[in-house]
Structure 1
Amino acid sequence: MPPRRVVTGRSQEPRRRFAEELRLLRAQKGDSLRKLGEVLGWDASLFGKMESGQTLGSPEVVEALAQHYGTGDLLLTLWELAVGDPTQFKEQYRRYMTLEAEALSMWHFGVSTVHGLLQTEGYVRALLAAGDIADEELTRQVEARIGRRQSLDGDDPPRFRTILSEAVLRTPLADAEEWRKQLEYLVEATERPNIALHVLPFSAGPYDLVSTDVIFLRLPNGRTVAYTENAHRGELIQETGSVERLQRAYDAVRDLALSPAESRKFVMRMWEEVPCDPSI
């Protein structure tokens, strides 16, 4: 049998092939890098670097591009091949990211960290740096996570409710100024009509979700799904009975938490307690 001919003229090296596909898709759609950045909410320079092969981007960025271009699984598959490790982008996480983009409302409980949609750049960088990853990968992941915050903006953003364990607010960053910025960002977020923030104080005592970060997504078709996560893995939960059990636990936590007004005052007190840099 004669060898199979390559008829596309495109690179067979995964990383180059991925970059080529990005350039082709953007050219076909007629988008400029600037317009692409405005539409998707990431800095245009990130897309330029991805198209030149300088970086591969994160799962979140690739998912957003796939939806924008309507490529189905093509871009995601090319990204996985370019990364060289398909396990880095689990099917459940891919599905979760798709559903998050569609959600009409989200309810979150954080037992250890602020949710990614409310994290400042300094907070993101500190969390990811703790994982001892390379500088290029760190920068890529920080850009991707900050870009996700755009989903809470716009003319008709989803409603977002977060309940933060007091432990989250009692675990400061090593950089006091960056920690002040994160607390200040949380206070500012409470001023937006689509965002509600509650604090679950230590005084509330034991509760059912003591070791579980969870977020519920209410979808346009009326369904609600849940995503639970710890430091090592995440799980997308779609079975109705399991979601309802988690929701009952979440409702119980919400009953124990401070009201939005009390929570805002709580975070402000935490912010005021952080030492200021006298040079600023």
Structure 2
Amino acid sequence: MANASRQVLWEYWGTELKRHRENAALTQEMLGEKVFVSGGYIGQFEQAIRRPQLDVAIRIDQVLQTDGFFERTWRKLIDDQRYADYFARVVQLEPLATKICDFESMVVPGLLQTAAYAKALMLAGNPFATDEYIEEKVRARLERADILTVGPRDGYWPILHEAVLRMPVGGPTVMAEQLEHIALLVRERKIVIQVMPFSAGPYPSAGRMVTLMEFEDAPPTAYTEGVYSGSLLDDPAIVKRVQQDYDLVRATALSPEASLALIESAAEEYRQCASTT
């Protein structure tokens, strides 16, 4: 959701807090005393200036007898913040998709990342972030991969450019574990993967990642991402063009068998490098 939309929801949270407080004949100071914050804080919650901690939301429910309303809405709003605004809608759609196709030119797709690989990427992009921030972002990314335990009905079909295998994110040990993880998913028949080799030369939409999703009762979508921005596309003509680009990439990529062999070979090279350092 956009920042403006999220702020509107926090304002709604505050409006409901004020309504329930007044219905209970409590002043801000009286409610604050019961939930162990100041009356001024309650006023700031109601005006959406400040956002309460979870334990405060839970105590508000207990005092106002609101059957968990404030806790549930708090969790929903905070969960949405685990992802960038432009990506949150994609996360909501992934579990609903019957088929997902990815193309990545530089990094392993999020659905395939190990914890160590994801952490290395997060640290590279957020060098001054707290450990708690990094761990929460990594945890959110790994939770997305839960859909692979059952898999989209018609499969998950990622294509990786060979550059993804060669960029040493986190060092040789992390890369070895990451590529071994991908190989295991292939051998367990949870994904079908292809690698586009350097020798293939130029390709459509060079340098841009793309995700295509198909659904049971809804039109397909395409998602592309730029610098701190992303676009979820559902115009049929545009999605069709993106699908054509993906098909051209797939046509020039290595076969699934050759791709797996290259992935396992690269993993072994990283293992050997790690053992000598």
Structure 1 residue runs of 4 or more that deviate by more than 6 Å after TM superposition: none
Query: Gaps spanning 5+ residues in structure 1: where?
Result: 30-50, 52-68
For residues 21 and 257 of structure 1, the distance between their equivalents in structure 2, rounded to whole angstroms, comes to 53
Q: Which residue of 2 aligns with 1:188?
A: 184
SS at match of 1:114: coil
Tell me whether 1:112 sits opposite 2:149 in the alignment: no
| Residue 171 (structure 1) aligns with | 167
Q: CA offset at residue 28 of structure 1?
A: 6.3
Match of 1:122 in 2: 116
**Secondary structure of 2:53's aligned partner:** helix
1:20 to 39, 51, 57: 57
Distance 1:150 1:22, change over 3 A: farther
State the 1:186 CA deviation. Answer: 1.0
Contact 2:103-2:211 within 8 A present in 1 as well: yes
TM-score with structure 1 setting the length: 0.71
Shift in CA distance, 19/279, structure 1 to aligned 2, threshold 3 Å:
farther
- Indicate the structure (1 or 2) with the bigger Cα radius of gyration: 2
Cα distance in structure 2, aligned partners of 1:155 and 1:246: 23
Change (3 A) 1:158 1:125: farther
- How far apart, CA to CA, are the structure 2 residues paired with 1:265 and 1:78? 42
Alignment match, 2:4: none
Q: Verify the 8 A CA contact 2:99 2:152 in the aligned structure 1.
A: no
CA contact (8 A) 1:18 1:78 kept: no
Q: How far apart, CA to CA, are the structure 1 residues paired with 2:60 and 2:199?
A: 55
Which has the larger displacement, 220-229 or 10-19?
Answer: 10-19
| Conserved 8 A contact 1:209-1:250 | no
Q: CA deviation at 1:257?
A: 0.4
Identity of aligned residues (%): 30
Secondary structure, counterpart of 1:207 in structure 2:
coil
Q: TM-score, normalised by structure 2?
A: 0.72
Deviation string, structure 1 residues 178-210 (Cα, Å, up to 9, x no partner): 111001111111113241110000111111121
The answer as to whether partners of 2:91 and 2:144 remain within 8 angstroms in 1 is: no
- Aligned equivalent of 2:11: none
Kept in 2, the 8 Å contact 1:166–1:200? The answer is yes
Contact persistence 1:158–1:194 (CA under 8 A): no
- The residue correspondences of 1:86-97 to structure 2 (distance < 5 A) are 89-90=84-85, 92-97=86-91
List alignment gaps of at least 5 residues for structure 2: 1-17, 25-30, 36-41
Alignment of 1:13-92 (within 5 A): 13-16=50-53, 20=57, 75-77=75-77, 89-90=84-85, 92=86
Structure 1 vs Structure 2 CA RMSD: 3.3
Contact kept? 2:161, 2:195, Cα under 8 Å: yes
Shift of 1:135: 1.8
For residue 220 of structure 1, report the CA deviation from its aligned partner: 1.7
Q: Decide whether the 8 Å contact of 1:151 with 1:157 is kept in 2.
A: no
Given that 2:179 and 2:267 are in contact with CA atoms closer than 8 Å, whether structure 1 keeps it comes out as yes
Aligned equivalent of 2:206: 210
- TM superposition shift of 1:101: 1.9
SS at 2:95 equivalent? helix
2:132 maps to which of 125, 133, 136:
136
One-letter code aligned to 1:20: A
Letter in 1 for 2:178: Q
Distance 1:244 1:260 in 2: 24
Alignment size in residue pairs: 229
Tell me the alpha carbon deviations over residues 128-160 of structure 1, each in whole angstroms, 9 at most, x when there is no partner: 001122221111101111121111103876610
Inter-partner Cα distance in structure 2 for 1:226 and 1:96: 10
1:125 is aligned with what amino acid? K
1:59 aligns with none
Q: Deviations over 1:88-115 (max 9, x none)?
A: 742x423222111211110000011111
> One-letter code of the match for 1:105?
K
In the alignment, is residue 98 of structure 1 matched against residue 92 of structure 2? yes
Q: Secondary structure at the match of 2:193?
A: strand
Instruction: Give distance in 1, aligned partners of 2:107 and 2:172.
Output: 16
Q: Please show how residues 246-261 of structure 1 align to structure 2 within 5 Å.
A: 246-261=242-257
Aligned to 2:28: none
